[in-house]
């Protein structure tokens, strides 16, 4: 029904009123809430099916799509922008819905095209061309071996369905090919160089969909392959675990030397996704559930941070910490929103980020007891760069020489919705223990 709903939205591409599209996306969220996600796979038809992992990813996709319509402020190519948002949401819903591995791979790679068009079309600096090529070639380099592996699995097992393809293997090369494509999209440290470039050069709605969803399809694909080939993950997880635990520490230090607020938020996404990867690689049930919660919470928190960062950029024409300072004197209510988002970014209660980090810490201790010291350092650095982000922008002497305007009501509404959903998703935690 969701797919037919999207197909019949084609006439709405010619409607320039963003309120109509926001209403349509919220209506789809309400329709989607009727599905029963407690089953292993429900609503099975034509190779499609959803379970607990895909249910909230699709919900997040629809909400971020609604936020993209609310954040659009350019006056050119509105119809083409509407088409791209609907097409990108349609592709991502199919990524989270298809149970066939080959079709999942096709839409997994197809989601790259509208994102590059968003960066090329609405980015505001000439460097957006190099960032788009970074994103394209990283994905191309990592994904072709995965396609060969999928063909190999089909000719050996004659099936590519998630729930019927299981294999006991001990080959590290197959494990590497299987996981590398998803780790690039996650992204893991050492293959993360495309993410800061793409975030910094993308428009605000491009950064929102990139942080809110494009980083999550890597984790979703990793979960699906972990369920299919758990033995090889049990044998070789320590390789990626070592890279991730080292990468979280290094990226936390890199965040402390940034002078660009948007670049700092992009690097903080790498740090949080590295911690999320540690929970997945521990192979404990609580760690996988904690990482899943962190993906949901990071989707809202990072999207909100990119949006409020763009609000400051629209007023001061700069993202630098050295120019944007003392904003608490001019925008105290927006300063409070900055404070809440930075608190959630450092995983303070009562947000869902706090529960996810507790679950991940427990699974890391069960996997390797020495991880406790690394976890303390990573959490401390996360708090430091979140505190650094807030203090350098909000405190100090206001030195902007450009004209300034206040924040509009719909901008407050969008930031408030991000914060509300971080609180609301805490109510899904009891369902994790069924």
pLDDT for position 429? 66
CA distance 302 to 211: 6
Q: Above 70 in pLDDT, residue 39? A: no
- Record the pTM: 0.93
Residue that wins the pLDDT comparison between 50 and 384: 384
Bond into 66 cis (ω within 30): no
Sketch the domain layout of the chain as residue ranges.
2-433
CA distance 304 to 411: 11
State both tokens at 299: 């989707």
Contacts of 82 (CB under 8 A, 6+ apart): 12, 13, 15, 21, 69
pLDDT for position 363? 92
State both tokens at 5: 């709903």
Strands in 166-291 per DSSP E: none
CA distance 231 to 228: 9
Q: Above 80 in pLDDT, residue 433? A: no
pLDDT for position 304? 92
Burial of 315 (0-12, 13-18, 19+ CB in 10 A): buried
CA distance 344 to 366: 26
User: Among 16-30, 57-71, 270-284, where is mean pLDDT lowest?
Assistant: 16-30
pLDDT for position 123? 81
Mean pLDDT in residue range 147-157 = 86
CA distance 434 to 421: 22
pLDDT for position 37? 60
Residue that wins the pLDDT comparison between 431 and 186: 186
State both tokens at 9: 């939205």
pLDDT for position 40? 55
CA distance 351 to 364: 21
pLDDT range class, residue 317, cuts 50, 70, 90: confident
pLDDT in tens, 172-221: 888 898 899 899 988 888 888 888 888 888 888 888 888 888 888 888 98
- Dihedral sign from CA coordinates of 217, 223, 228, 232: positive
pLDDT for position 434? 54
Q: Which of 61, 73, 2, 69 is nearest to 300 (CA)?
A: 61
Cα–Cα distances in Å, from 78 out to 82, 118, 278, 390, 399? 6, 12, 41, 33, 35
| Averaged pLDDT of the chain | 84
pLDDT for position 75? 60
Percent of the chain with pLDDT over 90: 10
SS3 290: helix
pLDDT for position 399? 65
């Amino acid at each position: 029904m969701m797919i037919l709903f999207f197909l019949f939205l084609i006439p709405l591409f010619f409607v320039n009123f963003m309120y109509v599209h926001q209403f349509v996306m919220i209506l789809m969220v309400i329709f989607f809430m009727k599905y029963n996600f407690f089953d292993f796979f429900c609503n099975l038809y034509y190779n499609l099916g959803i379970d607990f992992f895909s249910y909230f990813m699709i919900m997040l996709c629809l909400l971020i799509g609604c936020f993209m319509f609310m954040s659009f402020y350019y006056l050119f190519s509105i119809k083409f922008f509407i088409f791209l948002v609907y097409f990108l949401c349609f592709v991502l819903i199919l990524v989270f819905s298809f149970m066939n591995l080959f079709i999942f791979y096709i839409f997994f790679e197809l989601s790259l095209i509208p994102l590059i068009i968003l960066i090329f079309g609405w980015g505001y600096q000439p460097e957006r061309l190099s960032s788009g090529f970074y994103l394209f070639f990283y994905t191309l380099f990592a994904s072709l071996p995965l396609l060969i592996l999928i063909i190999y699995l089909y000719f050996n097992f004659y099936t590519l369905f998630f729930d019927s393809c299981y294999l006991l293997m001990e080959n590290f090369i197959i494990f590497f090919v299987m996981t590398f494509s998803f780790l690039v999209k996650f992204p893991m440290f050492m293959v993360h160089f495309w993410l800061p470039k793409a975030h910094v050069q993308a428009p605000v709605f491009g950064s929102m969909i990139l942080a809110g969803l494009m980083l999550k399809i890597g984790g979703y694909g990793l979960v699906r392959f972990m369920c299919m080939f758990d033995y090889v993950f049990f044998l070789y997880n320590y390789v990626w675990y070592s890279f991730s635990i080292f990468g979280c520490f290094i990226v936390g230090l890199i965040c402390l030397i940034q002078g660009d607020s948007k670049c700092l938020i992009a690097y903080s996404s790498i740090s949080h996704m590295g911690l999320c990867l540690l929970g997945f690689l521990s192979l404990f049930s609580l760690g996988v559930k904690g990482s899943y919660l962190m993906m949901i919470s990071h989707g809202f928190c990072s999207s909100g941070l990119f949006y409020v960062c763009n609000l400051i950029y629209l007023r001061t024409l700069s993202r630098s910490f050295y120019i944007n300072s003392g904003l608490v004197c001019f925008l105290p209510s927006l300063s409070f929103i900055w404070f809440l988002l930075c608190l959630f970014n450092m995983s303070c209660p009562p947000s869902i980020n706090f529960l996810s980090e507790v679950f991940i810490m427990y699974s890391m201790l069960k996997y390797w007891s020495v991880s406790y010291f690394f976890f303390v350092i990573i959490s401390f650095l996360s708090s430091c760069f979140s505190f650094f982000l807030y203090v350098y922008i909000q405190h100090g002497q206001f030195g902007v020489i450009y004209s300034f305007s206040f924040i509009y009501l719909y901008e407050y509404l969008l930031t408030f919705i991000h914060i509300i959903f971080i609180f609301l998703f805490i109510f899904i935690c009891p369902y994790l223990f069924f």
